Amino acid sequence: MQRSLKQRLNLLREFSVPLISGVVLALVWANLDPAGYHHFNTTPLTGPLSFYFISNDIFMALFFGIAAVEITQSCLPGGDLNPLSRAMNPLLATLGGVLGPALVYTILNRLYGAPELARGWGVPTATDIALAWLSARMVFGSAHPAVSFLLLLAVADDAIGLAIIALFYPDPLHPVVPVWLLLTLGGMAAAYCLRRMEVRGYWPYITLGGGLSWAGLYLAHLHPALALVFIVPFLPHATRESKHLFEEDPADYSTLSRFEQEWKVVVDIGLFIFGLANGGVEFTNTGTVTWLVLASLLIGKTGGIFAFGCLAGMVGFKLPDGVKKRDLLVIGVVAGTGFTVAIFVAGQAFVDHAVMDAAKMGAMFSAISVLIGILLGRLLGVWRCVR
């Protein structure tokens, strides 16, 4: 019975059902009863904390914390980012997947947009790991090396996305107050001390180190959802990594691994909350920025990843064995699924709620990349049945 429940939960997570369900419910609610949805989302639920605040400033700290676990593990000996030469082609492709959409967005905005939309360049730089992974498996099959290539690209993309949020999207209504970042440094110092003291439970790291880091970012007017990104690398971990991205290693009982195993399911199911809090966009709010974001994801992501992946091969960093240029093109299309992180960045990029909602709509429309990737995969002959 317990095994059956776990299998069902894993199935829900694998197909991003919680996230999509939250977005669909929010869309229906916001378009049938806009005032009711807005009241639910912004009215304090617990003390001064609204549902939107709980989702974006507290829950998303766990989401980015799990992303930080994957990045940390990938950098360990034996991980997918170690040694660096092994990962250079997907890493350079990732760079193209960030620069490409940012460039396309900037050019299109100058031609057809407006100056007040310029801050949105960071929205289409994101790739939704879960949806991209799902569609890649549908195109290539679970055992194809292109799936691992895409996962590595998506994780590296998330790392760059975290830096973009921190550096380029502070709250425009509240100037950054750097002195409060001393609290974040204090959280890192506390986590370092706990590591030196050989504390094996992850709660002291998360509550003490994470709490100080969150408070420092919040008071400095930087996004507190990034709090655990600065703490997770200090969690005790295995000396070598013996699994690939998003695989579970039942023999790894390290603090870092236990934190991921015990909270990843909570985060994946909890993405329903994020979808409900951020997906409530009225269809009438679709505007110029919607199409800027969508075009940048579809064209900029695909072109950037394909061009930089090919250039990397020309300078000596070859594509992984079994990944051909036609596979790389399909990978670029599939990576255009912005969704979760793109929606999150859209919420940080704009103050005007109408513009913000229009940008979010573009991020949600990017789910069409899944269908385009499947069709292109069939057209180019890379289609494989899921196995």
pLDDT reported for residue 13: 57
pLDDT reported for residue 2: 45
The predicted-structure confidence for 141-193, as pLDDT tens digits, reads as follows: 767 888 878 878 887 887 788 788 878 887 767 788 889 999 999 999 999 99
Distance, in Å, from the CA atom of 311 to the CA atom of 94, rounded to the nearest integer, reads 12
User: Would you call 313 exposed, middle or buried from its count of C-beta atoms within 10 A (0-12, 13-18, 19+)?
Assistant: middle
The predicted-structure confidence for 177-234, as pLDDT tens digits, reads as follows: 889 999 999 999 999 999 999 999 999 999 999 999 999 999 998 889 889 989 999 9
pLDDT reported for residue 12: 52
Q: Count of alpha carbons within 13 Å of 155, Cβ hemisphere only?
A: 24
With a cut of 80, say whether residue 258 has pLDDT above it.
yes
pLDDT reported for residue 81: 66
pLDDT reported for residue 226: 86
Distance, in Å, from the CA atom of 59 to the CA atom of 276, rounded to the nearest integer, reads 13
User: Which of 37-51, 52-66, 237-251 is predicted least confidently?
Assistant: 237-251
pLDDT reported for residue 386: 41
With a cut of 60, say whether residue 15 has pLDDT above it.
no
Phi-psi region of 248 (alpha: psi -120 to 50; beta: other; left: phi over 0): beta
Contacts of 294 (CB under 8 A, 6+ apart): 362, 365, 366
Please tell me whether the peptide bond between 83 and the residue prior to it is cis, using omega within 30 degrees of 0: yes
Query: What DSSP designation does 82 have?
Result: S
CA 169 to chain centre: 16
User: Would you call 207 exposed, middle or buried from its count of C-beta atoms within 10 A (0-12, 13-18, 19+)?
Assistant: exposed
Question: Which structure tokens are listed for 44?
Answer: 């304090």
The predicted-structure confidence for 349-371, as pLDDT tens digits, reads as follows: 898 989 999 999 999 999 899 88
Distance, in Å, from the CA atom of 326 to the CA atom of 70, rounded to the nearest integer, reads 28
Question: Which structure tokens are listed for 261?
Answer: 């195993």
For residue 72, give Cα distances in angstroms to 76, 351, 366: 7, 33, 28
What average pLDDT does this structure show over 73-77? 80
Confidence of residue 62 (pLDDT cuts 50, 70, 90): very high
User: Which of 1-10, 260-269, 331-340 is predicted least confidently?
Assistant: 1-10
Q: Where are the domains of the chain?
A: 2-169+223-380
The predicted-structure confidence for 318-352, as pLDDT tens digits, reads as follows: 888 788 999 999 999 999 988 888 898 898 889 89
Residue 30 and residue 280 in contact, taking contact as beta carbons nearer than 8 Å: yes
B/e letters for 91-124, b = 16+ CB within 10 Å, e = fewer, are: bbbbbbbbbbbbbbbbebbeeebeeebebbbbbb
* CATH class (in words) of the domain with range 2-169+223-380: mainly alpha
Residue 288 and residue 112 in contact, taking contact as beta carbons nearer than 8 Å: yes
Q: Count of alpha carbons within 13 Å of 41, Cβ hemisphere only?
A: 24
Instruction: Characterize the bridge pairing of strands 44-46 and 49-50.
Output: antiparallel
CB atoms within 10 A of CB 329: 21
pLDDT reported for residue 83: 73
Give long-range contacts, CB 8 A cutoff, 24+ apart: 27-33: 27/279, 27/280, 27/281, 29/280, 30/279, 30/280, 30/281, 30/282, 31/282, 31/283
Q: What is the pTM of this model?
A: 0.81
Say which residue, 59 or 82, is predicted with more confidence: 59
Rg (alpha carbons) of the chain, rounded to whole number: 20
